[in-house]
Amino acid sequence: MKNQRNSNVEKKALGVVAEDERQNWTSIAFIWIGTMICIPMLMVGGIFSSGLSLVNIIIAAFIGFVICSIIMILTGIQGTDLGLPSTMCATKAFGNTGSSVLMSVVILIAQLGWFGVQTAACATAFNALLGLWNIPFSFQLSCIIWGGVMMITAVYGFKFMKVLNYIAVPALIILCGYGTFRAINIVGMQALISNVPESTMPMSSAISIVIGLFAVGTVINADYSRYAKSRKDTIKATLIGVLPAAVLMITIGAIMAIAAGNYDITSVFASMGLPIVSMLVLILATWTTNTGNAYTAGLAAMKVFSIEDSKRPLVTLICGIAGTMIAIAGLADALQVFIGILSSLVPPIAGIMIADYWIIGKGKKSNWYPVEGFNWVGIISWGVGVVVALFFSFFSPALDGIIVCCVSYLILNSLFGNTKLAGRGKMVLHEMESLEETA
């Protein structure tokens, strides 16, 4: 019986996903839809409502997520072609060691941060729900309880995440639809459209926030798309799973915030007329997204510390515990600052991977191979892109970083691609697996 239970726990981490393990594209799309339907999306929509008209909010969300989707498709197809997660896909552009030290660490920190933000949001919603019955409850204990629930789901892996999202997504869509309908009835569609904030936010800043909000997603699509059966399935899963739901959620967050006169999303949901149902679905929304954060953090940690595939559940559990501690520490209060940092650090990674696989490698699996050690061409290019994104941005830090990294990598690779700066030579996957098993 023990073996049967263990068979339900996903052990696949850094190894190649075989053809018979591939999933229908709808499974991947539902995971992304469940990820998009989350509290930060609603919060950003609410924040936008204080600086943009509703029409401009929709335009900013659409442009931002079109850019994200294009980048995700390019990085995701590489994962589909190779059957590998994102950190392994980067072992040519950054080198095997470089991928562990740079990319995996950045993604690990980012996902642990998001796990903390989401866990804190869930704990706040749960405590607000108990407050309806005048039941006081410790925020820290609430973080521990809900962080534990979310990390356990992530421990079981892709199959359980898929089932959770099949259940949660319809309920979330219904509630958000109800919230929108109620907000329109309270304020009126004309008032919503004509709402003009006292202070205005530049469109470029709004687009940058949108890209930064989903910065990690542009890089880690391969963690899920490695299970897709074809490139076409990856494109469908990404476009259908990300773009409509993301734009809709930011728009709904803005509409409900305008109607409620408050962009504190917990207060907005509590004022919707169905407080108990609203809070329960709010918790469910956080659960579906945060499970993905813990899952991806676990995969990144596996690469950072060169841990064998069979330890994926334990590593994911440890990452969930670390993320819960971050929630208790109060990182959620710095959400906008956190998004700003992510928009400068994470997207440039995608620019380098795209340049390496699609331009230099011509998008062919046969032209890809892991590189031993550090590929300093990729690492230096990433550094250049981050500096530009942080200090010399000319449009959107996230997008600027991607473009600069892509160009820098192509130039440096043409100059130093055949030298030791580009790593200590080619590897094959079974050599890498042997290194991980003996680490």
Question: Which pLDDT value is given to residue 429?
Answer: 65
What pTM was computed for the model? 0.80
More confident residue, 122 or 161: 122
Q: Whats the size of the chain, residue-wise? A: 439
Picking from 11-25, 72-86, 143-157, 288-302, which range would have the lowest pLDDT averaged per residue? Answer: 11-25
Torsion region of 412: left, alpha or beta (phi above 0 gives left; psi -120 to 50 gives alpha) = alpha
pLDDT over 70 at 268, yes or no: no
Question: Which pLDDT value is given to residue 74?
Answer: 97
pLDDT over 90 at 193, yes or no: no
pLDDT over 90 at 34, yes or no: no
The pLDDT of 88-114, averaged and rounded, is 88
Give the bridge partners for 23, in sequence order: 228
Query: What rounded mean pLDDT belongs to the chain?
Result: 84
Question: Which pLDDT value is given to residue 230?
Answer: 95
Q: For 130-168, write each residue's pLDDT tens digit.
A: 887 888 999 999 999 999 988 888 888 667 776 777 777
Question: Which pLDDT value is given to residue 199?
Answer: 75
The pLDDT of 29-52, averaged and rounded, is 85
Rounded Cα gap, residues 359 and 407, in angstroms: 11
Question: Which pLDDT value is given to residue 10?
Answer: 59
Percent of the chain with pLDDT over 70: 88
Picking from 180-189, 222-231, 280-289, which range would have the lowest pLDDT averaged per residue? Answer: 280-289
The pLDDT of 34-55, averaged and rounded, is 85
Q: How many CA atoms lie within 13 A of 309 on its CB side?
A: 16
pLDDT over 80 at 173, yes or no: no
Q: For 391-408, write each residue's pLDDT tens digit.
A: 888 777 878 899 999 999
Highest mean pLDDT among 281-290, 323-332, 333-342: 323-332
pLDDT class of 273 with cuts at 50, 70, 90: low
pLDDT over 90 at 381, yes or no: yes
More confident residue, 4 or 144: 144
pLDDT over 90 at 40, yes or no: no
Q: How far is CA 105 from CA 12, 97, 118, 248, in A?
A: 20, 11, 20, 32
Question: Which pLDDT value is given to residue 12?
Answer: 53
Rounded Cα gap, residues 38 and 289, in angstroms: 6
Question: Which pLDDT value is given to residue 109?
Answer: 84
Rounded Cα gap, residues 15 and 276, in angstroms: 43
Is 286 within 8 Å of 118 (Cβ atoms)? Answer: yes
Question: Which pLDDT value is given to residue 326?
Answer: 87
Question: Which pLDDT value is given to residue 181?
Answer: 82
Question: Which pLDDT value is given to residue 274?
Answer: 66
Rounded Cα gap, residues 383 and 399, in angstroms: 15
Percent of the chain with pLDDT over 90: 38
The pLDDT of 305-310, averaged and rounded, is 82
pLDDT over 90 at 93, yes or no: yes
pLDDT over 70 at 37, yes or no: yes
Q: For 350-377, write each residue's pLDDT tens digit.
A: 999 999 999 999 999 999 999 999 999 9
Question: Which pLDDT value is given to residue 2?
Answer: 42
More confident residue, 296 or 160: 296
Question: Which pLDDT value is given to residue 341?
Answer: 75
Question: Which pLDDT value is given to residue 221?
Answer: 94
pLDDT over 90 at 332, yes or no: no
Question: Which pLDDT value is given to residue 215?
Answer: 79
Architecture of the CATH domain 29-438? Orthogonal Bundle (1.10)
